[in-house]
A = this chain, B = another copy of it.
Amino acid sequence: MITKIKGGVTAAKGFFAAAAAAGIKYKDRTDMALIYSKAPCTAAGTFTSNIVKAAPVKWDAQIVKTSLSVHAVVVNSGIANACTGAEGMDYCRKTAAAAAKALGVREEEVLVASTGVIGMQLPIEKLEAGISTMASELSDGPEAGEAAAKAIMTTDTHEKQAAVQFEIGGKQVTVGGMCKGSGMIHPNMCTMLAFVTTDLSISKELLEKAVKADVKDTYNMVSVDGDTSTNDTLLVLANGEAGNPKITEENADYQTFCKALNIVNTALAKMMAGDGEGATALFEAKVIHAETKKQAVTISKSIITSSLTKAAIFGHDANWGRILCAMGYSGAEFDPERVDLEFASGAGTIKIIENGVALDYSEEEATKILSEPEVTVIADLKQGEASAVAWGCDLTYDYVKINADYRS
Protein backbone atom coordinates (compact mmCIF):
# COMPACT_ATOMS: atom_id res chain seq x y z
CA MET A 1 0.00 0.00 0.00
CA ILE A 2 1.24 3.46 -0.92
CA THR A 3 -0.09 6.28 1.27
CA LYS A 4 -0.01 9.95 0.41
CA ILE A 5 1.44 12.05 3.20
CA LYS A 6 2.18 15.72 3.72
CA GLY A 7 5.66 17.02 3.05
CA GLY A 8 8.27 17.39 0.36
CA VAL A 9 12.04 17.02 0.11
CA THR A 10 12.50 16.59 3.89
CA ALA A 11 9.82 13.91 4.23
CA ALA A 12 12.27 11.05 3.66
CA LYS A 13 14.63 10.11 6.48
CA GLY A 14 17.94 11.94 6.62
CA PHE A 15 17.13 14.78 4.24
CA PHE A 16 17.62 18.35 5.43
CA ALA A 17 16.72 21.63 3.76
CA ALA A 18 17.00 25.37 4.17
CA ALA A 19 16.15 28.55 2.31
CA ALA A 20 17.74 31.98 2.13
CA ALA A 21 16.93 35.46 0.90
CA ALA A 22 20.15 36.05 -1.00
CA GLY A 23 18.90 39.07 -2.96
CA ILE A 24 19.85 37.61 -6.34
CA LYS A 25 16.81 39.06 -8.05
CA TYR A 26 14.02 39.47 -5.54
CA LYS A 27 14.34 41.95 -2.69
CA ASP A 28 11.65 40.76 -0.32
CA ARG A 29 11.57 36.99 -0.50
CA THR A 30 13.73 33.87 -0.35
CA ASP A 31 15.45 32.93 -3.60
CA MET A 32 17.84 30.11 -2.66
CA ALA A 33 17.27 26.59 -1.40
CA LEU A 34 19.60 23.88 -0.18
CA ILE A 35 18.86 20.15 0.07
CA TYR A 36 21.31 18.03 2.04
CA SER A 37 21.75 14.44 3.11
CA LYS A 38 24.55 13.45 5.49
CA ALA A 39 24.45 9.92 4.10
CA PRO A 40 25.74 9.83 0.52
CA CYS A 41 22.96 9.61 -2.08
CA THR A 42 22.60 7.71 -5.28
CA ALA A 43 21.46 10.30 -7.82
CA ALA A 44 19.53 10.16 -11.07
CA GLY A 45 18.44 13.03 -13.23
CA THR A 46 16.91 13.99 -16.52
CA PHE A 47 17.57 17.29 -18.20
CA THR A 48 16.28 19.58 -20.91
CA SER A 49 16.45 18.41 -24.50
CA ASN A 50 16.91 22.04 -25.59
CA ILE A 51 20.30 22.26 -27.30
CA VAL A 52 20.81 25.56 -25.55
CA LYS A 53 21.60 24.15 -22.11
CA ALA A 54 22.16 26.26 -19.01
CA ALA A 55 25.47 25.89 -17.16
CA PRO A 56 23.92 24.06 -14.16
CA VAL A 57 22.30 21.55 -16.52
CA LYS A 58 25.70 20.74 -17.98
CA TRP A 59 27.20 20.55 -14.48
CA ASP A 60 24.52 18.23 -13.12
CA ALA A 61 24.42 15.97 -16.18
CA GLN A 62 28.13 15.36 -15.69
CA ILE A 63 27.85 14.74 -11.93
CA VAL A 64 24.84 12.45 -12.23
CA LYS A 65 26.66 10.46 -14.88
CA THR A 66 30.00 10.07 -13.14
CA SER A 67 29.62 10.66 -9.42
CA LEU A 68 28.82 7.69 -7.19
CA SER A 69 27.68 9.81 -4.28
CA VAL A 70 25.87 13.11 -4.00
CA HIS A 71 25.21 15.05 -0.79
CA ALA A 72 23.54 18.31 -1.72
CA VAL A 73 21.59 20.39 -4.23
CA VAL A 74 21.86 24.19 -4.35
CA VAL A 75 19.07 26.03 -6.15
CA ASN A 76 18.63 29.70 -7.01
CA SER A 77 15.46 31.17 -8.49
CA GLY A 78 16.72 34.57 -9.60
CA ILE A 79 19.00 33.99 -12.57
CA ALA A 80 18.93 30.99 -14.91
CA ASN A 81 22.68 31.02 -15.63
CA ALA A 82 21.89 30.12 -19.25
CA CYS A 83 23.72 31.59 -22.27
CA THR A 84 26.45 32.79 -19.93
CA GLY A 85 29.47 31.11 -21.55
CA ALA A 86 32.61 30.07 -19.68
CA GLU A 87 32.01 32.67 -16.97
CA GLY A 88 28.63 31.10 -16.16
CA MET A 89 30.16 27.63 -16.01
CA ASP A 90 32.77 28.92 -13.60
CA TYR A 91 30.08 30.42 -11.32
CA CYS A 92 28.39 27.07 -11.35
CA ARG A 93 31.55 25.37 -10.12
CA LYS A 94 32.09 28.12 -7.51
CA THR A 95 28.54 27.60 -6.20
CA ALA A 96 29.20 23.89 -5.77
CA ALA A 97 32.57 24.64 -4.17
CA ALA A 98 31.00 27.02 -1.64
CA ALA A 99 28.43 24.40 -0.65
CA ALA A 100 31.07 21.68 -0.50
CA LYS A 101 33.16 23.78 1.87
CA ALA A 102 30.22 24.71 4.11
CA LEU A 103 28.98 21.09 4.29
CA GLY A 104 32.33 19.30 4.45
CA VAL A 105 31.81 17.34 1.24
CA ARG A 106 33.49 17.35 -2.17
CA GLU A 107 32.63 19.81 -4.98
CA GLU A 108 31.56 16.97 -7.27
CA GLU A 109 29.07 15.77 -4.66
CA VAL A 110 27.02 18.97 -5.03
CA LEU A 111 24.34 19.47 -7.68
CA VAL A 112 23.33 22.96 -8.78
CA ALA A 113 20.08 24.19 -10.34
CA SER A 114 18.96 27.62 -11.51
CA THR A 115 15.86 29.28 -12.88
CA GLY A 116 15.13 32.87 -13.79
CA VAL A 117 16.38 35.33 -16.35
CA ILE A 118 18.47 33.96 -19.22
CA GLY A 119 21.73 35.68 -20.14
CA MET A 120 22.63 37.46 -16.91
CA GLN A 121 25.67 36.48 -14.87
CA LEU A 122 25.27 35.32 -11.28
CA PRO A 123 26.28 37.64 -8.41
CA ILE A 124 28.48 34.91 -6.96
CA GLU A 125 29.22 36.63 -3.63
CA LYS A 126 25.50 36.78 -2.89
CA LEU A 127 25.17 33.08 -3.64
CA GLU A 128 28.14 32.25 -1.45
CA ALA A 129 26.65 34.25 1.43
CA GLY A 130 23.31 32.50 0.93
CA ILE A 131 24.95 29.08 0.99
CA SER A 132 26.79 29.89 4.19
CA THR A 133 23.54 31.02 5.88
CA MET A 134 21.62 27.95 4.69
CA ALA A 135 24.30 25.49 5.77
CA SER A 136 23.97 26.76 9.34
CA GLU A 137 20.16 26.57 9.32
CA LEU A 138 19.57 23.10 7.86
CA SER A 139 16.61 21.24 9.33
CA ASP A 140 14.80 18.00 8.56
CA GLY A 141 11.39 19.28 9.63
CA PRO A 142 8.45 19.85 7.27
CA GLU A 143 8.84 23.63 7.67
CA ALA A 144 12.30 23.39 6.12
CA GLY A 145 10.93 21.45 3.15
CA GLU A 146 8.19 24.00 2.69
CA ALA A 147 10.64 26.90 2.94
CA ALA A 148 12.75 25.30 0.22
CA ALA A 149 9.68 24.74 -1.99
CA LYS A 150 8.77 28.42 -1.63
CA ALA A 151 12.31 29.63 -2.31
CA ILE A 152 12.55 27.93 -5.71
CA MET A 153 9.37 29.60 -7.05
CA THR A 154 9.52 32.24 -9.78
CA THR A 155 6.11 33.14 -11.22
CA ASP A 156 4.50 30.24 -9.34
CA THR A 157 1.63 31.34 -7.12
CA HIS A 158 2.13 28.59 -4.53
CA GLU A 159 4.73 26.02 -3.53
CA LYS A 160 4.44 22.49 -4.91
CA GLN A 161 5.19 19.44 -2.79
CA ALA A 162 4.10 15.82 -2.75
CA ALA A 163 5.11 12.76 -0.74
CA VAL A 164 4.16 9.13 -0.21
CA GLN A 165 5.03 6.31 2.19
CA PHE A 166 5.10 2.56 1.69
CA GLU A 167 6.87 -0.51 3.05
CA ILE A 168 9.67 -2.50 1.51
CA GLY A 169 11.13 -5.54 3.33
CA GLY A 170 9.39 -4.50 6.55
CA LYS A 171 10.92 -1.01 6.43
CA GLN A 172 9.01 2.22 5.95
CA VAL A 173 10.17 4.06 2.84
CA THR A 174 9.32 7.64 1.95
CA VAL A 175 9.49 9.46 -1.40
CA GLY A 176 8.97 13.20 -1.33
CA GLY A 177 9.55 16.03 -3.77
CA MET A 178 9.05 19.60 -4.75
CA CYS A 179 8.96 21.40 -8.08
CA LYS A 180 8.39 24.79 -9.58
CA GLY A 181 6.89 26.07 -12.86
CA SER A 182 5.34 28.06 -14.20
CA GLY A 183 6.35 29.57 -17.57
CA MET A 184 8.61 28.27 -20.34
CA ILE A 185 7.10 24.93 -19.46
CA HIS A 186 6.97 22.28 -22.14
CA PRO A 187 9.43 19.81 -20.73
CA ASN A 188 11.15 17.40 -22.98
CA MET A 189 12.97 14.73 -20.96
CA CYS A 190 11.98 16.41 -17.70
CA THR A 191 10.57 19.54 -16.23
CA MET A 192 11.69 22.97 -15.22
CA LEU A 193 12.93 22.20 -11.72
CA ALA A 194 11.84 19.18 -9.71
CA PHE A 195 13.63 17.56 -6.80
CA VAL A 196 12.64 14.24 -5.32
CA THR A 197 14.27 12.64 -2.31
CA THR A 198 13.84 9.15 -0.92
CA ASP A 199 15.37 7.14 1.88
CA LEU A 200 15.09 4.01 -0.24
CA SER A 201 18.16 1.91 -0.79
CA ILE A 202 18.45 1.22 -4.51
CA SER A 203 21.20 0.71 -7.05
CA LYS A 204 22.14 3.67 -9.25
CA GLU A 205 21.27 1.71 -12.36
CA LEU A 206 17.73 0.95 -11.25
CA LEU A 207 17.15 4.44 -9.86
CA GLU A 208 18.09 5.83 -13.26
CA LYS A 209 15.87 3.35 -15.05
CA ALA A 210 12.87 4.15 -12.84
CA VAL A 211 13.32 7.91 -13.28
CA LYS A 212 13.80 7.76 -17.03
CA ALA A 213 10.67 5.64 -17.49
CA ASP A 214 8.54 7.76 -15.21
CA VAL A 215 9.22 11.22 -16.69
CA LYS A 216 7.64 10.09 -19.95
CA ASP A 217 4.24 9.80 -18.29
CA THR A 218 4.58 12.70 -15.87
CA TYR A 219 6.70 15.82 -16.50
CA ASN A 220 6.96 15.20 -20.23
CA MET A 221 3.16 15.30 -20.47
CA VAL A 222 2.95 18.85 -19.15
CA SER A 223 2.89 22.03 -21.19
CA VAL A 224 2.15 25.57 -20.09
CA ASP A 225 3.24 27.41 -23.19
CA GLY A 226 5.05 25.11 -25.57
CA ASP A 227 8.43 26.60 -24.67
CA THR A 228 11.03 24.00 -23.63
CA SER A 229 13.34 25.71 -21.17
CA THR A 230 17.13 25.77 -21.21
CA ASN A 231 17.15 24.73 -17.54
CA ASP A 232 14.70 21.83 -17.18
CA THR A 233 16.02 19.58 -14.44
CA LEU A 234 14.66 16.66 -12.46
CA LEU A 235 16.94 15.29 -9.75
CA VAL A 236 16.14 12.25 -7.64
CA LEU A 237 18.29 11.48 -4.61
CA ALA A 238 18.16 8.20 -2.69
CA ASN A 239 20.15 8.01 0.58
CA GLY A 240 19.27 4.47 1.71
CA GLU A 241 18.38 5.51 5.28
CA ALA A 242 15.12 3.54 5.27
CA GLY A 243 17.28 0.47 5.82
CA ASN A 244 15.40 -1.70 3.31
CA PRO A 245 17.26 -4.54 1.59
CA LYS A 246 18.90 -2.71 -1.32
CA ILE A 247 16.93 -2.96 -4.56
CA THR A 248 19.24 -4.34 -7.20
CA GLU A 249 16.82 -6.09 -9.53
CA GLU A 250 13.44 -5.41 -11.10
CA ASN A 251 11.47 -7.29 -8.48
CA ALA A 252 8.18 -6.50 -6.74
CA ASP A 253 9.92 -3.95 -4.48
CA TYR A 254 11.20 -2.12 -7.55
CA GLN A 255 7.67 -2.05 -8.98
CA THR A 256 6.36 -0.66 -5.70
CA PHE A 257 8.96 2.10 -5.77
CA CYS A 258 8.09 2.88 -9.43
CA LYS A 259 4.45 3.27 -8.45
CA ALA A 260 5.33 5.52 -5.51
CA LEU A 261 7.61 7.63 -7.69
CA ASN A 262 4.83 7.92 -10.27
CA ILE A 263 2.36 9.17 -7.65
CA VAL A 264 4.77 11.87 -6.46
CA ASN A 265 5.81 12.91 -9.98
CA THR A 266 2.23 12.95 -11.29
CA ALA A 267 1.12 15.09 -8.35
CA LEU A 268 3.98 17.54 -8.91
CA ALA A 269 3.45 17.62 -12.70
CA LYS A 270 -0.27 18.35 -12.31
CA MET A 271 0.43 21.08 -9.76
CA MET A 272 2.84 22.66 -12.20
CA ALA A 273 0.29 22.61 -15.03
CA GLY A 274 -2.53 23.92 -12.85
CA ASP A 275 -0.30 26.74 -11.63
CA GLY A 276 0.90 27.64 -15.13
CA GLU A 277 1.57 31.32 -15.61
CA GLY A 278 -1.68 33.23 -15.33
CA ALA A 279 -3.72 30.01 -15.26
CA THR A 280 -7.19 29.82 -13.78
CA ALA A 281 -7.67 26.11 -14.53
CA LEU A 282 -5.84 22.83 -14.87
CA PHE A 283 -6.64 21.45 -18.32
CA GLU A 284 -6.26 17.70 -18.72
CA ALA A 285 -6.50 15.87 -22.04
CA LYS A 286 -7.06 12.11 -22.04
CA VAL A 287 -6.81 10.21 -25.29
CA ILE A 288 -8.25 6.73 -25.03
CA HIS A 289 -8.55 3.70 -27.30
CA ALA A 290 -5.67 4.85 -29.46
CA GLU A 291 -3.83 2.38 -31.63
CA THR A 292 -0.43 3.17 -30.12
CA LYS A 293 0.88 4.97 -27.07
CA LYS A 294 2.85 7.33 -29.30
CA GLN A 295 -0.30 8.36 -31.14
CA ALA A 296 -2.12 8.97 -27.85
CA VAL A 297 0.79 11.03 -26.50
CA THR A 298 1.05 13.15 -29.66
CA ILE A 299 -2.65 13.91 -29.79
CA SER A 300 -3.09 14.63 -26.08
CA LYS A 301 -0.10 17.00 -26.07
CA SER A 302 -1.36 18.77 -29.19
CA ILE A 303 -4.69 19.46 -27.46
CA ILE A 304 -3.22 20.98 -24.31
CA THR A 305 -0.70 23.01 -26.34
CA SER A 306 -3.21 24.68 -28.67
CA SER A 307 -3.42 28.40 -27.87
CA LEU A 308 -6.94 28.59 -29.23
CA THR A 309 -8.14 25.67 -27.13
CA LYS A 310 -6.44 27.13 -24.05
CA ALA A 311 -8.15 30.48 -24.62
CA ALA A 312 -11.50 28.70 -25.00
CA ILE A 313 -10.96 26.92 -21.67
CA PHE A 314 -10.32 30.33 -20.10
CA GLY A 315 -13.64 31.45 -21.58
CA HIS A 316 -15.41 28.28 -20.29
CA ASP A 317 -16.38 27.73 -23.91
CA ALA A 318 -17.03 24.15 -25.11
CA ASN A 319 -15.27 24.97 -28.36
CA TRP A 320 -14.77 21.35 -29.39
CA GLY A 321 -13.99 22.41 -32.97
CA ARG A 322 -10.66 23.77 -31.80
CA ILE A 323 -9.93 20.50 -30.00
CA LEU A 324 -10.66 18.36 -33.06
CA CYS A 325 -8.61 20.83 -35.08
CA ALA A 326 -5.64 20.52 -32.70
CA MET A 327 -5.91 16.72 -32.86
CA GLY A 328 -5.96 16.96 -36.65
CA TYR A 329 -2.75 18.94 -37.00
CA SER A 330 -0.89 16.98 -34.31
CA GLY A 331 0.86 14.86 -36.90
CA ALA A 332 -0.73 11.63 -35.66
CA GLU A 333 -3.05 9.68 -37.92
CA PHE A 334 -6.62 8.92 -36.86
CA ASP A 335 -10.10 8.93 -38.31
CA PRO A 336 -11.81 12.19 -37.31
CA GLU A 337 -15.16 10.71 -38.22
CA ARG A 338 -14.91 8.09 -35.47
CA VAL A 339 -13.92 10.41 -32.64
CA ASP A 340 -16.11 10.93 -29.55
CA LEU A 341 -15.38 13.90 -27.26
CA GLU A 342 -16.46 14.39 -23.67
CA PHE A 343 -15.82 17.14 -21.14
CA ALA A 344 -15.58 16.22 -17.47
CA SER A 345 -14.97 18.07 -14.22
CA GLY A 346 -16.15 18.13 -10.62
CA ALA A 347 -19.46 19.46 -11.96
CA GLY A 348 -20.18 16.43 -14.15
CA THR A 349 -19.58 14.90 -17.55
CA ILE A 350 -21.01 15.83 -20.93
CA LYS A 351 -20.63 14.18 -24.31
CA ILE A 352 -20.19 16.79 -27.00
CA ILE A 353 -19.43 14.95 -30.20
CA GLU A 354 -19.96 11.42 -31.42
CA ASN A 355 -18.30 10.04 -34.53
CA GLY A 356 -16.85 13.48 -35.33
CA VAL A 357 -20.17 15.34 -35.39
CA ALA A 358 -21.73 17.51 -32.68
CA LEU A 359 -24.51 16.13 -30.51
CA ASP A 360 -27.42 18.30 -29.44
CA TYR A 361 -25.85 19.04 -26.06
CA SER A 362 -26.70 21.83 -23.61
CA GLU A 363 -24.24 24.73 -23.93
CA GLU A 364 -25.31 25.85 -20.49
CA GLU A 365 -24.42 22.52 -18.92
CA ALA A 366 -21.13 22.44 -20.83
CA THR A 367 -20.21 25.90 -19.58
CA LYS A 368 -20.98 24.81 -16.03
CA ILE A 369 -18.65 21.82 -16.37
CA LEU A 370 -15.95 24.00 -17.93
CA SER A 371 -16.13 26.56 -15.14
CA GLU A 372 -14.42 24.26 -12.62
CA PRO A 373 -10.74 24.65 -11.59
CA GLU A 374 -9.89 21.24 -13.11
CA VAL A 375 -11.28 20.42 -16.53
CA THR A 376 -10.75 17.22 -18.52
CA VAL A 377 -11.42 16.50 -22.17
CA ILE A 378 -11.61 12.84 -23.14
CA ALA A 379 -11.07 11.95 -26.78
CA ASP A 380 -12.06 8.40 -27.68
CA LEU A 381 -10.39 7.32 -30.94
CA LYS A 382 -12.06 3.86 -30.98
CA GLN A 383 -9.01 2.30 -32.56
CA GLY A 384 -7.20 0.23 -29.96
CA GLU A 385 -6.15 -0.08 -26.34
CA ALA A 386 -3.49 2.61 -25.85
CA SER A 387 -4.05 5.82 -23.91
CA ALA A 388 -2.25 8.91 -22.61
CA VAL A 389 -2.94 11.87 -20.34
CA ALA A 390 -1.44 15.33 -20.78
CA TRP A 391 -1.75 18.36 -18.51
CA GLY A 392 -1.85 22.03 -19.39
CA CYS A 393 -3.73 25.13 -18.36
CA ASP A 394 -5.83 27.87 -19.84
CA LEU A 395 -4.40 30.90 -21.68
CA THR A 396 -5.29 34.11 -19.88
CA TYR A 397 -4.70 37.83 -19.83
CA ASP A 398 -2.36 37.27 -16.93
CA TYR A 399 -0.12 34.97 -18.97
CA VAL A 400 0.42 37.84 -21.38
CA LYS A 401 0.85 40.34 -18.57
CA ILE A 402 3.42 38.21 -16.73
CA ASN A 403 5.44 37.61 -19.88
CA ALA A 404 5.29 41.04 -21.43
CA ASP A 405 6.72 42.42 -18.18
CA TYR A 406 8.89 39.58 -16.91
CA ARG A 407 12.31 41.20 -17.13
CA SER A 408 11.28 44.67 -16.01
Interfacial residues, chain A to chain B (CB-CB below 8 A): 49-53, 80, 82-85, 117-120, 183-184, 186, 188, 225-230, 305-308, 311-312, 314-315, 317, 319-322, 324-329, 333-334, 336-337, 353, 356-358, 395-397, 399-408
Q: Is the CB of A400 within 8 A of B311?
A: yes
Q: Is the CB of A311 within 8 A of B227?
A: no
Q: Is the CB of B336 within 8 A of A52?
A: yes
> A226 to nearest B CB, angstroms?
6
Q: Is the CB of A357 within 8 A of B84?
A: yes
Chain B residues with CB under 8 A of A399: 307, 311, 400
Chain B residues with CB under 8 A of A327: 52
Q: Is the CB of A317 within 8 A of B50?
A: no
Knowing that A85-B337, A227-B326, A311-B402 touch, tell me 16 more A-B residue pairs with CB under 8 angstroms: A52-B328, A80-B321, A83-B353, A83-B356, A117-B321, A184-B308, A226-B307, A229-B325, A230-B321, A230-B324, A307-B399, A307-B403, A311-B403, A312-B407, A317-B407, A400-B400
Chain B residues with CB under 8 A of A228: 325, 328-329
C-alpha spacing A321/B120, complex, angstroms: 9
Q: Is the CB of A406 within 8 A of B357?
A: no
Query: Can you name the residue of chain B whose Cβ is closest to the Cβ of A80?
Result: B321
Query: Can you name the residue of chain B whose Cβ is closest to the Cβ of A232?
Result: B329
Q: Is the CB of B406 within 8 A of A358?
A: no
A-B contact pairs, 24 of them (CB 8 A): A52-B327, A52-B328, A52-B329, A52-B336, A80-B321, A82-B325, A84-B357, A117-B321, A118-B319, A118-B321, A118-B325, A186-B329, A226-B306, A227-B306, A227-B322, A227-B325, A227-B329, A230-B324, A230-B328, A307-B399, A311-B406, A314-B400, A317-B406, A317-B407
Knowing A82-B321, A321-B80 are in contact, say whether A308-B50 is a contact too (CB < 8 A).
Answer: no
Query: Can you name the residue of chain B whose Cβ is closest to the Cβ of A357?
Result: B85
Q: Is the CB of B118 within 8 A of A50?
A: no
Question: Which of A329, A356, A357, A395 has the largest count of B CB atoms less than 10 A from its CB?
Answer: A329
**Dominant secondary structure of chain A at its interface with chain B:** loop
Knowing A85-B356, A322-B118 are in contact, say whether A183-B404 is a contact too (CB < 8 A).
Answer: no
Query: Can you name the residue of chain B whose Cβ is closest to the Cβ of A88?
Result: B357
Among B225, B324, B406, the residue within 8 A (CB) of A319 is B406
Q: Is the CB of A329 within 8 A of B50?
A: yes
Knowing A83-B324, A227-B306, A399-B400 are in contact, say whether A188-B314 is a contact too (CB < 8 A).
Answer: no
Query: Can you name the residue of chain B whose Cβ is closest to the Cβ of A225?
Result: B307
C-alpha spacing A326/B93, complex, angstroms: 27
Knowing A52-B327, A325-B52 are in contact, say whether A315-B408 is a contact too (CB < 8 A).
Answer: yes
Q: Is the CB of B396 within 8 A of A308?
A: no
Chain B residues with CB under 8 A of A324: 52, 83, 118, 230
C-alpha spacing A82/B314, complex, angstroms: 23
C-alpha spacing A321/B37, complex, angstroms: 34
Chain B residues with CB under 8 A of A321: 80, 82-83, 117-119, 230
> A408 to nearest B CB, angstroms?
7
C-alpha spacing A41/B184, complex, angstroms: 49
Chain B residues with CB under 8 A of A82: 321, 325
C-alpha spacing A32/B233, complex, angstroms: 52
Query: Can you name the residue of chain B whose Cβ is closest to the Cβ of A118?
Result: B321
Chain B residues with CB under 8 A of A322: 118, 184, 227
Q: Is the CB of A404 within 8 A of B85?
A: no
Q: Is the CB of A395 within 8 A of B406?
A: no
Knowing A395-B400, A400-B314 are in contact, say whether A49-B329 is a contact too (CB < 8 A).
Answer: yes
Chain B residues with CB under 8 A of A408: 315, 317
